[in-house]
Amino acid sequence: MSHALRILIVGQHGQVSQALQHSLKDLGELIVPGRERLDLSQPESIRALVRDIKPDVIINAAAHTAVDQAESEPELAFAINATSPGVLAEEAAALGIPFIHYSTDYVFDGSKDGAWTESDVPNPLGVYGLSKLAGEQAVEQAGGQYLILRTSWVYSLTGRNFLLTMQRLLQEREKLTVVADQIGAPTWAGTIAHSTRELVERWRDGKPGAWGVYHLTNSGETSWFGFAQAIGQQLVKAGKPCATLEPIPSSAYPTPAVRPLNSRLDCTRLQREWGVSQPDWHDAMLECLAQQP
C-alpha cells in the first residue's frame, strides 16, 4: 500500500485549488494555508512556510487571473504569477520534491494556425501572459523535479468564470452577444485536478515521465460563442429560460487586455510522456453540470 503524502496546495479558494482539495483528499494530508498564513504578494514569506511544513509535494494553484485588471496592477500580477512560483520552485528543489505549477494559453500570441506545442516560442500579448511566462521561466531556472502545466479557459461551479456568468446572463436577458473568433478548449477544473492526481500517483509509484513543460486542457475545440451555445442548450433541456445568442468578432468587444485568437494547445506530449489524457470539453462540461445542485 502506498504511503500517505504530505501535499502543500498553494492557493485556497480558487477553482483549481477547490477541485484539487476534492480530488486529492485521500492521497494523504492536504495542507492548504489561507492568505493570513501565506501572502503571495509577499513572496519571501513563502520560504519559512515551506520549511516549516516540509511537504512531499508542492502544487501551486494560486494565480492572479484577472486578465484585464493585471494591465493596471502589473507589480501585483508579477509578484503572484512570477516571483512566488520561483520561490516555491526553489524551495521544492532544495527539498528534492516535485513542484507542480499551472500556466496558461496566454503565453502565446494566438497567431499560429494549428494547435500550440510546448516547443513553440511564447509571445504574450498582455501583462497577465507576461507575468505567467516569467513564472514559467523562474520555475525552470530553479530546476529540480517540476511540471509546468499550461491550461486554458478554466471553469467550474465555484468562483467567477464563463460557465456561471453565461448561465446567469442567458436566463436574465432576451439577447446576448458573445465573441466567436477566439478558439480554444474550455477546461473544467475537475479535469485539471484529476489529471494532476494521476501525475502525482505516477511519481509516487516510481513511474514518472520527463519533468518540464506540458499542455493540459480538455480535448476538442470551440469558440466562446460555441461554449455559450452549449451552456444554453443545457438550460433549454432543463426547461429554463435562455437568451438568443448572437456571434460577434473580438473587435466588437474591446477589453483592456488583448486576447489571443487561437488558444488551442496540443496535449499529446502529456499523454506520450506520462500516459495522462483528458476527455472532450463537451463531455467534461456535462460532467461538471451534473454536479450542480
* Residues classed as catalytic: 128
d(CA 21, CA 221) in angstroms, rounded, equals 27
Cα torsion 264, 269, 272, 277: sign: negative
Cβ atoms 105, 52 nearer than 8 A: no
SS (H, E, C) 82-135: HHHHHHHHHHHHHHCCCEEEEEEHHHCCCCCCCCECCCCCCCCCCHHHHHHHHH
What does the block give as the cell for 108?
Answer: 502565446
In whole angstroms, what separates CA 135 from the centre of its chain? Answer: 14
